Amino acid sequence: MSIWYNHVRAGIRLHALVDNFRLIRARAANPAPIIKSDAYGHGLPQVARALFEAGARTLAAGTVGEAAVLKDTVPEAEVISLLGPLDAADYECVCERDIVAFVGSTEQLLLLEEAAGRVGTTVRVALKFDTGMARLGFDAVEAAGVADTLDGLEHVRATMVCSHLATADDPEQAGYAREQGEKFERIVGTLHARGLDVRASLANSGAIFGHPGLHHDLQRPGIALYGGNPFFGTAWEEKGRGLRQAMQVSSRLVQVRTIAAGQSVSYGRTFTAPAGMRVGIVAVGYADNYSRGLSAKAQMLLHGRRVPVLGRVCMQLTAVDLTGVPEAAVGDEVFLLGGAGPQSISADELAAWWGTITYEVFCLLGQNPRTYVD
């Protein structure tokens, strides 16, 4: 949470998140939940405790600092840092806190060897290989060389080998996911042939539900944990059915007014009333991470009915059309995301109006003050 000055509240339903984990575990034998970036805006400590109680024994954060908080929260869990060490403090922390760090360069291995030697411990690492993202990781052709480097290190032990899929959530690019999978298999084979006893991990949410052949030893569910269907809007949408959105976000009506035909609303006069109408002002805006890009596109939920956003979203206020909700009154709760009933606002819908993805919806709106259920 980073926003403290508003009336917006993000309600987190931990029971929905646990249900999603159980659904994932029915598809994948050994899921290691990804709770990086403050658990995608859902709150790292709360989510970590709920998932550990539900049976998760390996958990992954993003940065080393976040992994240290995760280790404090669930000391009994195996904790992974997906970004691995980036500065001197990170290297020391990995060694002192028994964090399994992703490493994707020889330099990182050598710096970890030095840090572990100073601390007087052996540090475990997950070898990260690039199989098609062109982001972090060793090149696939470096596998034998990485094994050679590890042979010369006293304090670093590789326990995992990982890569990241670029198109697992896109049925039209399933061939590319298979190509990455084949490249990854060759890397794993090389490392095993060199005597490295490493667990293999490749599958993200999309692969868990859509590519069972890519599951390997450990799976890394992310967006699916929080209720995002990785195949929403695609031909494979049915594969992700059953996931439940864990976050809902609401604010309140701070004014209700009637305007005459021809009266414009908000900055720039981008909306003009075609007839007399009731307008509600909701206490939310782009300072609360409700994007200005939602102007005249989004809908909110009030008394179980949709109300369209009128005109431009302001810094802390947004206007909505109350024509279909005559009983609306100042103080009523208005849902920007979620809400009860069949008209509930889904994260996929909000992301589409926003022109983004559900990940960003959760991460940004989750920075508002949070409350927890269960």
Residue 90's identity, in one-letter code, is D
Find out whether 166 and 132 touch, Cβ atoms under 8 Å: yes
Find out whether 102 and 126 touch, Cβ atoms under 8 Å: yes
What SS3 class is residue 117?
helix
Q: Find residue 199's DSSP bridge partners.
A: 160
Catalytic status, residue 267: yes
Q: What tokens does 71 get?
A: 């280790």
């972090």: which residue's tokens? 136
- Angle at CA of residue 192, ends 191 and 195, nearest 5°: 95
Catalytic entry in 5, 176, 267, 286: 267
- Backbone dihedral region for residue 331 (phi beyond 0: left; psi -120 to 50: alpha; all else: beta): left
Q: What tokens does 185 get?
A: 């298999």
Catalytic entry in 36, 71, 128, 239: 36
Q: Give the number of C-alpha atoms closer than 13 A to the C-alpha of residue 35, restricted to the C-beta side.
A: 34
The Cα 85–Cα 74 span in angstroms is 21
The alpha carbon torsion through 173, 61, 336, 355 (nearest 10 deg) reads: -30
For 323-337, b where at least 16 C-beta lie within 10 A, e where not — what string? Answer: eebeebeeebebbbb
Catalytic status, residue 36: yes
H-type helices in 152-297, by residue range? Answer: 174-193, 205-210
Q: Write the secondary structure of 249-284 as one string of H (helix), E (strand) and C (coil).
A: EEEEEEEEEEECCCCEECHHHCEECCCCEEEEEECC
The Cα 65–Cα 348 span in angstroms is 30
**What is the 3-state composition of the chain as percent helix, strand, coil, each rounded to the nearest 5?**
40, 25, 40
Which residue, 286, 260, 255, 288, is CA-closest to 273?
A: 260
List, by residue number, the catalytic residues: 36, 267
